């Protein structure tokens, strides 16, 4: 495959350099902004014929460099594919083009009493096509499950330009292989997602948000276990902020932590249809965890403004850490009992290194911890001390080295830590079958 993009004459062409958060810089002389599936099809057919590499790009919020043109790939942006095509109020299925921004979709479905089944800190920028292509997890996976369950239909353009039509609005459809599942989480390496149909839950009429402080991680686990048991069907988020991360949002973003003590903070959200019923359940749960001593302090937000303020403490941790300097980011799944051990062990492992901080936060309800290490600027020695140590550590606990962000450019060479050689070999066979010339997002997801 040629690594140089030849010029394509196209009215959507603009020259630009693509820069992504976290110091991955790409170079491309061409960005194409199609509006329709047919535009995408013609672009792909043209690029395939001329062996031009293409990188699909949504909101460019990915954290592993998946949307970055590594050399001079053509950037295919979905920014203008932003039409909402249909909303079936009865079944709750929204159908739209891939470039719709997640928050815009959520606002749209909210008008009909529905909610998008995923939510993440990047909601104001990320595209639904990017979410589907990364199989984004986020803040409410504990309640609504992953996109592998919520995406009911999908349309994609393959490398050849052929349109793969897996559109459906049915929850149940056992007619043959479920091909769309292969595209979900494939990070733009198998096809360009152009349309999706997504199942939306009812928008909850009653929402409560509480911030609870615990003195130890063992207490967090007790609180989580009790939360799942006592809040059960109304639990919609159970997130963790360690005290280092909490101090970072206070220091760099000047947010206010309403609690005065605690080594760990749990952000708990309930969502239901009956305020009185939910409050009763939440009160019983809070009484129980305070009484048994697993929670040492806590507050329940009074009104939407306070709820947003509490959520900001969790959602803006990544942003706060960026202000500190360079961030080495790891997004791993672990058995929940080992969730925080990785942070403790990394602090020990990095003792004496030129590190500013070692932070742990994330989706504790899903066993997904975000381990972040900061230095003043990028330091290769620190990088080599962390990798592959961190991946070996995760493999030793049978976890996943990428829980929700994908492999992209940064993590692709570490896939073997979480997938068997036979599985990687089959992934490569699918890639060759679907993209024989290797033009779709090369250098991503699969190792050389």
- What residues make contact with ligand MLT under the rule CB under 6 A? 121, 317-318, 331, 362, 370
Nearer to ligand MLT, 160 or 368 (CB): 368
Minimum distance of ligand FAD from residue 61's CB (angstroms):
3
Minimum distance of ligand MLT from residue 350's CB (angstroms):
19
Q: For residue 59, which of 135, 130, 140 has the smallest C-alpha distance?
A: 130
Partner in contact with 242, chosen from ligand MLT, ligand FAD, none, beta carbon below 5 to 8 Å by kind = none
Q: How many C-beta atoms lie closer than 10 Å to residue 273's C-beta?
A: 12
Minimum distance of ligand MLT from residue 395's CB (angstroms):
20
Minimum distance of ligand FAD from residue 307's CB (angstroms):
18
Nearer to ligand MLT, 195 or 370 (CB): 370
Partner in contact with 362, chosen from ligand FAD, ligand MLT, none, beta carbon below 5 to 8 Å by kind = ligand MLT
Partner in contact with 129, chosen from ligand FAD, ligand MLT, none, beta carbon below 5 to 8 Å by kind = ligand FAD
Nearer to ligand FAD, 219 or 404 (CB): 404
Minimum distance of ligand MLT from residue 176's CB (angstroms):
34
Nearer to ligand MLT, 127 or 431 (CB): 127
Nearer to ligand MLT, 131 or 437 (CB): 131
* 40 Cβ contact partners less than 8 Å away, ≥ 6 residues apart: 34, 76, 81, 157, 192, 194
User: Does residue 388 have a cis peptide bond before it, meaning omega lies within 30 degrees of 0?
Assistant: yes
Q: How many C-beta atoms lie closer than 10 Å to residue 29's C-beta?
A: 16
Nearer to ligand MLT, 93 or 334 (CB): 334
Partner in contact with 370, chosen from ligand MLT, ligand FAD, none, beta carbon below 5 to 8 Å by kind = ligand MLT
Partner in contact with 56, chosen from ligand FAD, ligand MLT, none, beta carbon below 5 to 8 Å by kind = ligand FAD
Minimum distance of ligand FAD from residue 287's CB (angstroms):
31
CB 362 within 8 A of CB 369: yes
Minimum distance of ligand FAD from residue 351's CB (angstroms):
29
Minimum distance of ligand MLT from residue 327's CB (angstroms):
8
Residues that bind ligand FAD (CB under 6 A): 55-63, 66-67, 78, 98, 120-122, 126-127, 129-131, 133-134, 136-139, 187-188, 192-193, 318, 404-405, 408, 441, 444
Distance, in Å, from the CA atom of 55 to the CA atom of 20, rounded to the nearest integer, reads 14
Minimum distance of ligand FAD from residue 196's CB (angstroms):
9
Partner in contact with 192, chosen from ligand FAD, ligand MLT, none, beta carbon below 5 to 8 Å by kind = ligand FAD
CB 23 within 8 A of CB 326: yes
- The radius of gyration computed from the CA coordinates of the chain, to the nearest angstrom, equals 22
- Name the pairing type of β-strands 192-199 and 93-97: antiparallel
Partner in contact with 360, chosen from ligand MLT, ligand FAD, none, beta carbon below 5 to 8 Å by kind = none
Partner in contact with 257, chosen from ligand FAD, ligand MLT, none, beta carbon below 5 to 8 Å by kind = none
Nearer to ligand FAD, 297 or 319 (CB): 319
């Amino acid at each position: 495959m040629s690594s140089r993009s030849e010029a394509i004459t196209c009215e959507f062409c603009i020259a630009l350099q693509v820069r992504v958060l976290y110091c991955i810089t790409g170079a491309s002389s061409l960005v194409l902004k199609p509006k329709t599936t047919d535009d995408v099809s013609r672009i792909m057919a043209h690029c395939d014929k001329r062996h031009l590499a293409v990188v699909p790009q949504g909101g460019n919020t990915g954290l592993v460099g998946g949307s970055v043109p590594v050399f001079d790939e053509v950037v295919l942006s979905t920014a203008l594919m932003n039409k909402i095509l249909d909303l079936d109020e009865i079944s709750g299925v929204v159908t739209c083009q891939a470039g719709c921004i997640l928050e815009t979709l959520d606002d749209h479905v909210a008008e009909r009493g529905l909610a998008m089944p995923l939510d993440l800190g990047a909601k104001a920028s990320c595209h639904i096509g990017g979410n589907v292509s990364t199989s984004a997890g986020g803040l409410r996976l504990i309640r609504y499950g992953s996109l592998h369950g919520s995406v009911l239909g999908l349309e994609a353009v393959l490398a050849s330009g052929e349109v793969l039509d897996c559109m459906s609005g049915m929850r149940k459809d056992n007619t043959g292989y479920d091909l769309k599942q292969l595209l979900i989480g494939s990070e733009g390496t198998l096809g360009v997602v152009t349309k999706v149909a997504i199942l939306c839950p009812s928008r909850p009429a009653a929402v409560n948000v509480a911030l609870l402080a615990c003195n130890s991680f063992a207490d967090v686990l007790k609180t989580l276990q009790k939360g799942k048991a006592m809040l059960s069907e109304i639990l919609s988020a159970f997130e963790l902020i360690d005290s280092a991360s909490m101090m970072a949002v206070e220091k760099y973003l000047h947010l206010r932590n309403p609690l005065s003590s605690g080594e760990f903070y749990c952000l708990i959200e309930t969502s239901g249809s009956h305020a009185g019923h939910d409050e009763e359940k939440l009160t019983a749960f809070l009484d129980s965890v305070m009484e048994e001593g697993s929670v040492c302090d806590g507050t329940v937000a009074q009104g939407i403004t306070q709820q947003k303020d509490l959520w900001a403490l969790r959602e803006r941790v990544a942003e706060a850490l960026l202000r500190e300097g360079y961030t080495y980011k790891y997004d791993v799944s672990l058995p929940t009992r080992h969730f925080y051990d990785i942070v403790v062990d990394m602090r020990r492992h990095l003792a004496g290194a030129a590190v500013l901080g070692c932070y742990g936060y994330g989706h504790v309800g899903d066993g997904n911890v975000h381990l972040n290490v900061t230095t003043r600027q990028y330091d290769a020695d620190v990088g080599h001390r962390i990798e592959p140590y961190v991946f070996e550590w995760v493999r030793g606990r049978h976890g996943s080295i990428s829980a929700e962000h994908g492999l992209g450019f940064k993590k692709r060479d570490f896939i073997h830590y979480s997938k068997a050689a036979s599985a990687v070999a089959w992934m490569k066979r699918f890639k060759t079958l679907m993209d024989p010339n290797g033009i779709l997002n090369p250098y991503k997801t699969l190792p050389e």
